[in-house]
């Protein structure tokens, strides 16, 4: 059964129009996508929420929302551009890359099927997407890679080759990214099973899945948050009250309990 927090929502990532914003690299601007008939008004707002730049682009696009708690994504690591995603469930998914300095569209991508933005490699050569293979079972999905240099969807899925039987399912609740932009760590709530962390290496195009041994209330993982150590050597899963639950050694992927949390 799907927990109540997500039962009325399509699983992330999905595109949002309106007030949902994507911050610029230095935090001085907020990018938003506004509905204008069948088209989209892309705007950049300053810290006073005043529009300083805007442009209308054809089609219905929105800011990519990565988690159910509102975290957005799509900004290039160098802050030069960002990715917009088509709105709603369509037989063809579209993505638009927009320049951050002028809001001019650089590239438009059209893919048959249901895809959503997931991550970008630091050099912006690869775009990672979550593909829902069925709109009837939206909790199950696979990760795909799109080559932005050759403009091709790469064959196969991005998966944990050490755990070939691992099935990606659940709802994204939090995401942190390494300082160099290489690793994207996403915490998923998994109703009926263990929560897990999906660690995506955006440079090599490989992933690791780490099960989080939670035995308590199935709603609790919705309030858990990730915290990456400054030196990038470990990743903590913290509970709602801020107390650390487990830590993941990012060199070995081994889990240890924090603060006597036991398990």
The tokens for 114 are 């249901």
pLDDT value at residue 8: 32
Residues 207/223, Cβ–Cβ less than 8 Å:
no
Measuring CA to CA, how many Å separate 229 from each of 56, 148, 212? 40, 31, 18
pLDDT value at residue 117: 96
pLDDT at 263 over 70: no
Summarised one tens digit per residue, pLDDT across range 146-173 is 999 999 999 998 876 666 555 667 889 9
Residue burial 15-38, b: 16+ Cβ < 10 Å; e: rest: bbbeebbbebeeeebbbbbbeeee
Summarised one tens digit per residue, pLDDT across range 79-133 is 999 999 999 878 899 999 999 999 999 999 999 999 999 999 999 999 999 998 7
pLDDT value at residue 9: 42
Q: What's the pLDDT band for 14 if we cut at 50, 70, 90?
A: confident
Give 6: exposed, middle or buried? Use CB within 10 Å, 0-12, 13-18, 19+.
buried
Long-range contacts, stretch 29-33, CB < 8 angstroms, 24+ apart: 29/100, 31/63, 31/82, 31/98, 31/100, 32/63, 33/61, 33/62, 33/63, 33/84
* Mean pLDDT, residues 176-185 taken together: 97
27 phi-psi bin (left φ>0, alpha ψ -120 to 50, beta other): left
- Report pTM: 0.89
């Amino acid at each position: 059964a799907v927990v109540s927090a997500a039962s009325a929502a399509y699983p992330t990532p999905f595109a949002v129009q309106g007030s949902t914003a994507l911050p610029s690299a230095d935090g001085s601007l907020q990018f938003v996508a506004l509905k204008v008939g069948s088209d989209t008004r892309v705007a950049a707002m300053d810290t006073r929420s005043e529009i300083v730049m805007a442009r209308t682009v054809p089609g219905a696009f929105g800011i990519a929302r990565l988690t159910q708690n509102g975290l957005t994504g799509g900004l290039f690591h160098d802050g030069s551009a960002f990715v917009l995603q088509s709105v709603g469930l369509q037989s063809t998914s579209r993505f638009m890359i927009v320049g951050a300095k002028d809001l001019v569209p650089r590239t438009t991508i059209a893919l048959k099927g249901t895809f959503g933005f997931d991550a970008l490699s630091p050099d912006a050569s690869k775009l990672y997407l979550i593909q829902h293979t069925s709109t009837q079972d939206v909790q199950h999905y696979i990760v795909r890679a799109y080559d932005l240099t050759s403009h091709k969807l790469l064959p196969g899925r991005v998966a944990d080759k050490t755990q070939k039987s691992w099935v990606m399912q659940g709802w994204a609740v939090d995401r942190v990214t390494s300082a160099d932009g290489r690793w994207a760590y996403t915490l998923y709530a998994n109703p009926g099973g263990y929560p897990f962390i999906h660690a995506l290496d955006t440079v090599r195009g490989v992933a690791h899945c780490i099960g989080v041994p939670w035995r308590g209330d199935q709603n609790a993982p919705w309030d858990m948050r990730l915290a990456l150590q400054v030196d990038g050597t470990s990743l903590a899963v913290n509970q709602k009250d801020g107390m650390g639950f487990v830590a993941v050694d990012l060199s070995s992927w081994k889990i240890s309990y924090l603060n006597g949390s036991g398990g």
